[in-house]
Structure formats: C-alpha cells, structure tokens
Chain A
Amino acid sequence: MSDAASNAAPAASGRPAIEIEHVDKWFGDFQVLRDVDLTVNRNERIVIAGPSGSGKSTLIRCINRLEKHDKGVIRVDGIELTEDLKRIDEVRREVGMVFQQFNLFPHMTVLENCMLAPIWVRKMPEKDARETAMSYLERVRIPEQALKYPGQLSGGQQQRVAIARSLCMNPRIMLFDEPTSALDPEMIKEVLDVMVGLAEDGMTMIVVTHEMGFARQVADRVVFMDEGDIVESADPETFFNNPQNDRTKAFLAQILHN
C-alpha cells in the first residue's frame, strides 16, 4: 500500500469493518446489551445465535442506528456513530439490511423497490438504476417478477427481492435480522442459497439466525449471545463440537435435538 492511497478514504483496507466497544443499551429499565465488544473484519461472515430476547437483533440494529446505543463506541468503516445525522446517513449507505418481515414497499413494484434508493440516495441516473436493479434481481433469480407488486409474491420471493433491494445500494456490509424466521419451511432454502452465494463472493455479513446448518456452512465465526452479553465466540468447528460455556451447551443441546 502506497502512502498516497492511505489517506484517500477512511475505509482503507487495514481497518476492521465494524468495531463495537463496551456497548450498553437499555429499553427503559431493562438492559438489553451489557458491555458488548465485537470486531468484524472485512470479508468476515459472522453468525449471531442465541435465545430470543438475548439482544441479537438489537445489537445489529445498533450497527445501522435503527436503535441508538446508550454507552460505548460503534464504528462502521471507521465512522463513529453519534448523533451526527450526516454520519448516520453515510453509514446507512454502506450497510444493507434484510429484515425478518421483508419490509418491501407494497405500493411499488419489485423493480421500483430496487430502484428507489439508488436514484434518490446515490443520485444514480434512472437508466443505470434500472440496469443495476435488473442485474441483482437476476442474481437472486427472480428477474421475471420485476413488474409485480410484493403482495403478489411468495414469502421466499419477497425476501429475495429484499436482498436484491439492499444489494442495489452496493453496500460493503450486509446485516441479516432473522431473514428466514418468517418463511414457510419450503422457502427457507431458496433464501439461504442466495445468502451462501453472497458469502462466497466475499461480502462482509452479520447474520442473526437460528439456521445452524447455514452457520456451519458459511460462518467464519459464530457468536453466542445470552442476556445481552456475548457469551462465546468461536469458529463453527469449535463452536458446535466443543462449546466452552454452559449456556452455549444448553442452547445447542436444545436446538440441535429437536
């Protein structure tokens, strides 16, 4: 790396994609996150597992500031998240998010869903936005649905559109908040396949999921959260075969045996 390149962008390659340091968060009197530390490197795939109410979703929602953390530091691509709206917008442009409930915009076609943000946030010309949208819709294998409305699609198709919509913004990091939890079992695979493809292309991903097969297959690291705290963090091999913490063991015993 030359000196000239090093001051070009704050996102220079040496720095971790996401740094979370000593983060606390309360909902009223209830503490959801307790002194959470997590560093995600570039191109790293992290799966966050844990019982419901453990703060997994809240943690990733803090990364793009859908939730505000109360204490500690969160840096995304070197940009620290504070009250500064400009920085929040900057982070949101770089971070895509896929929700459990898809959250497609029902009054727009699939194509319009995908083109909206590139046009208005990235100021992309309409023609380019259309091409980008179509190329990502092809990538999630539903280009033929482009002119339909979300309500006309199955859950699996909607979730794939939601992934394409996020990718159209060309994010550096993708957050997945239980992307398959609202799907009928027969549709889970089509969504996971798209996510595996994304992982193979080297996208930095944080995935909150109960799909342990997916974790085994693509995760570089599995993080186990309980009661707002990261209890254990290890590569999938160690995590599944040799968990250290009792709570992890109990959790794995529960979900792997039913």
Chain B
Amino acid sequence: MEWMRKNLFSSWGNSLLTIVALYLVYIIIVPFLDWAVFSAVFTGDSRAACLGPDKGACWPFVYANWDQFVYGRYPEAERWRVNIVFFLGAAGLIPLLMPSVPAKLYNVIFLLVAYPVLAVILLVGGRPGLPMVDTSYWGGLLVTLVVAVTGIVVSLPLGVLLALGRRSEMPVIRMFSVIFIEVWRGVPLITVLFMASVMLPMFLPEGVTLDNLLRCLIGVALFSSAYMAEVVRGGLQSMPKGQEEAARALGLSYPQTMIFIILPQALRHVIPGIVNTFIGLFKDTTLVLIVGIFDLLGQVRTQLSDPNWSAPQTAVTGYVFAAALFWIFCFGMSRYSTFMEHRLNAGHQR
C-alpha cells in the first residue's frame, strides 16, 4: 500500500496516468486471456473441435502439427538425429553461457569445431546407417535454428575481421572491406536470398550445384557480417588511442594487440549492438520462406492450408504460436546480454 501511494498515486497527474495505464492493460489483457485460455479449445483432433462462434484459440492445431513445426518434412524415422543435434547444441551452449562452469576453452572448441561437423554428419547423413536426408525435407524450427546459428557463428568473427580491415592502413584491404560492407548493407536481405537462390547457380561452373539451403546460409551469413562489422567498428572507435600505443610500445604485434587488448574491450562496449544484430538476424531467418525453404513460420503457414484444420481461429493460433516461439529465443538472448553487461561492468569500472 505504502509503495503504491508513493509510486503510483503520488500526485494528481500521476494518479490519472496510473488509471489510464491500468485501463489500457485491462482492455488488452482481458480479451487476450479470454481468447488464449478461457474460450480456447484444448482438446480435439480436427477442425470440428474448433468450430463455433464463441471459440477462442485452437490449440489442438498446435499439438497435432508439433512435429511438422519442429522438423518440417524431415523423415519421421530419422528425427532422432535432429533430436541429438538439438540436445548436443544445448549441452554445449548452456555450460558455455554459465560463467561459473570451468573449461571454457574446451567448451568453445567443442561448440565451434566438433559440433558443426557432428551436426552436418547427423543432419545430412549419406553414410552407412545414416540415410541421406536432402535439405529440401528440412523445415520448421530446425531450419530456423540452422540458419540463425550459422549466421550468428559466422557473422561475429567475419564482422570483426571486416571491421579491422576497414581501419587497416593497407589500402587494398581497406578498400575491399569498405566495398564488401557497403554492398551487402545496401541490398535488402530478400534480394540477397533471391540472388543466392536464382542467380548464383548461373555463375557456377557447369555441373557444380550448391544446395539451396546452403546458398541461403551463405547469403545470410555474409549479409549479417556486414552489419556486425559496423557494430564492431563502433566499438573499435570508442577505444582510446593510448591502449593500442601502450601495447605496441611493449612489443606486442598487431594481432596480439587486437586479440588481447583492443577487441576484448571494444566488443564489451558493443554487446548491446551485437545482440541486437543477432536478434534481428534470428527474426530475418523467416525470409527464407520466399525462396521455398520452410522455416518455423513457413511451416506454420503450410500446415494452415490443411483442410482438416480449417477453422476460424486456426490461423491466429498458428501465428501466435510462432510469434511466441520467436519471442522466447529473442528475449532469452536479450536477457543474457543484459546479464553479461552487468557481470562485466561489475569487476572494473574505468
């Protein structure tokens, strides 16, 4: 009560704002809760359950299509392979994100070297005991995560190199970096994806084919590297010149100076920007839909056209579900970046 009086009703104007805000919350939350919970349908195995004028969300649609949402058209008998990849990814990532868990170096090596190789072997297959699964069968969350994680893992180091290249004293490297960054930044991602899927094959030599998904992966990774490069450059510019001079005066080489002195500080300054780029990239993965690859959102849309589930609220339910899943991942990244900022700032302020 005391708190409320102090913070919400301290003055006339403040009380008015509180009441308006509460009213806004009321008119948004109540209908949503009604739709998502009180009037929602939770059981059933076809559209029949969700038909009716007063029915809310059609949740059975989500459980019935859960497997499609997660795996796409990945053959049912092989889905254990995807599960292992998900599991290993989580098992590698979670301890890495917890500062108190030791052996970070091995953890990083596992995640950046061993894990991608294992994931490709398992997901693609084509070895004894592991039948080949063409990427055109992949879909749903699997594709979303493959595109997003590849984009994130490639764009950070490549972005760092491009940012350093843009500040290089060697004109050739500087020119190359500037042109690369400005070209990729100046083109919409949709165009990049179209080019990757339609035009790139024209430039490849006869007989060489590149998987459609792989082409998109390359496109997305290069595209996000350009953005990352600019974020990192902002961090590099915030560094006082004396840091580099002190390192060079001690005899450290240029790479040593960057790795030990400049990058750890510069990257720390731009964690919010880096994570912002990651989140943008994660959501942009939905654009692969337009070149015939079905990510989570694409898969939801596909299942919506199933006549067995055609009911008034099915589409909204599907989109809300997709939005919620995206939100969970993005919000997780955002919270983690806040946590890291606080942690890194706690030790040593300057």
Complex CA–CA separation, A149 to B345 (angstroms): 12
Give a binary string over A90-122; 1 marks a CB under 8 Å from any B CB, 0 the rest: 001101110101011111000000001100110
* CB-nearest residue of chain A to B242: A103
Give a binary string over B251-268; 1 marks a CB under 8 Å from any A CB, 0 the rest: 111001000110011001
Contact A99 B260, beta carbon cutoff 8 Å: no
- Among A92, A106, A151, contact of B249 (Cβ-Cβ < 8 Å): A92
- Among B246, B247, B249, B268, contact of A107 (Cβ-Cβ < 8 Å): B268
Contact A116 B252, beta carbon cutoff 8 Å: yes
Give a binary string over A52-90; 1 marks a CB under 8 Å from any B CB, 0 the rest: 000000000000101000000000000000000000010
Which B residues are closer than 8 A to A by beta carbons?
A: 240, 242-243, 245-253, 256, 260-261, 264-265, 268, 347-350
Task: Knowing that A66-B248, A104-B246 touch, tell me 16 more A-B residue pairs with CB under 8 angstroms.
Answer: A66-B249, A92-B250, A95-B249, A99-B245, A103-B243, A103-B246, A105-B247, A105-B260, A106-B265, A107-B268, A107-B348, A117-B250, A121-B251, A150-B350, A152-B348, A169-B250
Q: Which residues of A are found within 8 Å of B264, using beta-carbon distances?
A: 107
Residue among A105, A150, A166 with max Cβ neighbours from chain B (10 Å) = A105
7 tightest CB-CB pairs across the interface, nearest first? A149-B348, A103-B246, A103-B242, A117-B250, A121-B251, A97-B249, A92-B251
Any chain B CB within 8 A of the CB of A165? yes
Q: Which residues of B are found within 8 Å of A162, using beta-carbon distances?
A: 246
Complex CA–CA separation, A92 to B257 (angstroms): 14
- Minimum distance in angstroms from A110 CB to a CB of chain B: 11
Q: Which residues of A are found within 8 Å of B245, using beta-carbon distances?
A: 66, 99, 103
Q: Which residues of B are found within 8 Å of A116, using beta-carbon distances?
A: 250, 252, 260
Contact A89 B251, beta carbon cutoff 8 Å: yes
Complex CA–CA separation, A149 to B350 (angstroms): 9
Q: Which residues of B are found within 8 Å of A169, using beta-carbon distances?
A: 250-251
Given A66-B248, A101-B242, check contact A89 B348 (CB 8 Å). Answer: no
- Among A64, A107, A120, contact of B252 (Cβ-Cβ < 8 Å): A120
A selection of 13 A-B contacts at a CB cut-off of 8 Å is: A66-B249, A101-B240, A103-B246, A106-B265, A107-B348, A116-B260, A117-B252, A120-B252, A121-B251, A121-B256, A151-B349, A162-B246, A169-B250
Complex CA–CA separation, A66 to B249 (angstroms): 7
Q: Which residues of B are found within 8 Å of A117, using beta-carbon distances?
A: 250-252
Complex CA–CA separation, A151 to B248 (angstroms): 21
Contact B250 A165, beta carbon cutoff 8 Å: yes
Contact B256 A120, beta carbon cutoff 8 Å: yes
* CB-nearest residue of chain B to A95: B249
Complex CA–CA separation, A89 to B248 (angstroms): 8
Contact A99 B246, beta carbon cutoff 8 Å: yes
Contact B242 A107, beta carbon cutoff 8 Å: no
- Count of A-B contacts judged by CB separation below 8 Å: 67
- Minimum distance in angstroms from B284 CB to a CB of chain A: 32
Q: Which residues of A are found within 8 Å of B249, using beta-carbon distances?
A: 64, 66, 92, 95-97, 166
Contact A89 B253, beta carbon cutoff 8 Å: yes
Complex CA–CA separation, A117 to B264 (angstroms): 16
Contact B250 A166, beta carbon cutoff 8 Å: yes
Q: Which residues of A are found within 8 Å of B347, using beta-carbon distances?
A: 149
- Minimum distance in angstroms from A66 CB to a CB of chain B: 5
Give a binary string over A140-177; 1 marks a CB under 8 Å from any B CB, 0 the rest: 00000000011110000000001001100100000000
Complex CA–CA separation, A149 to B260 (angstroms): 16
Complex CA–CA separation, A166 to B349 (angstroms): 23
Complex CA–CA separation, A104 to B348 (angstroms): 13
- Among A95, A99, A150, A165, contact of B242 (Cβ-Cβ < 8 Å): A99
- Minimum distance in angstroms from B344 CB to a CB of chain A: 9
Complex CA–CA separation, A245 to B115 (angstroms): 73
Q: Which residues of A are found within 8 Å of B265, using beta-carbon distances?
A: 105-107
Complex CA–CA separation, A152 to B264 (angstroms): 19
* CB-nearest residue of chain A to B347: A149
Complex CA–CA separation, A35 to B155 (angstroms): 49
Complex CA–CA separation, A117 to B247 (angstroms): 8
- Minimum distance in angstroms from A93 CB to a CB of chain B: 4
* CB-nearest residue of chain B to A117: B250
Residue among B240, B253, B260 with max Cβ neighbours from chain A (10 Å) = B260
Residue among A66, A96, A162 with max Cβ neighbours from chain B (10 Å) = A66
* CB-nearest residue of chain B to A105: B261
* CB-nearest residue of chain A to B246: A103
Contact B348 A151, beta carbon cutoff 8 Å: yes
- Minimum distance in angstroms from B256 CB to a CB of chain A: 5
Q: Which residues of A are found within 8 Å of B243, using beta-carbon distances?
A: 103, 105
Complex CA–CA separation, A106 to B256 (angstroms): 16
Complex CA–CA separation, A144 to B246 (angstroms): 23
Complex CA–CA separation, A121 to B268 (angstroms): 25
Given A99-B242, A103-B242, A107-B265, check contact A151 B350 (CB 8 Å). Answer: yes
Complex CA–CA separation, A105 to B240 (angstroms): 11
Complex CA–CA separation, A93 to B256 (angstroms): 14
Given A121-B251, A121-B252, check contact A106 B350 (CB 8 Å). Answer: yes
- Minimum distance in angstroms from A196 CB to a CB of chain B: 22
- Minimum distance in angstroms from B160 CB to a CB of chain A: 17
* CB-nearest residue of chain A to B256: A120
Complex CA–CA separation, A106 to B348 (angstroms): 7
Q: Which residues of A are found within 8 Å of B348, using beta-carbon distances?
A: 106-107, 149-152
Complex CA–CA separation, A231 to B253 (angstroms): 36
- Minimum distance in angstroms from A135 CB to a CB of chain B: 18
Residue among B261, B264, B268 with max Cβ neighbours from chain A (10 Å) = B261
Complex CA–CA separation, A192 to B81 (angstroms): 68
Complex CA–CA separation, A178 to B268 (angstroms): 30
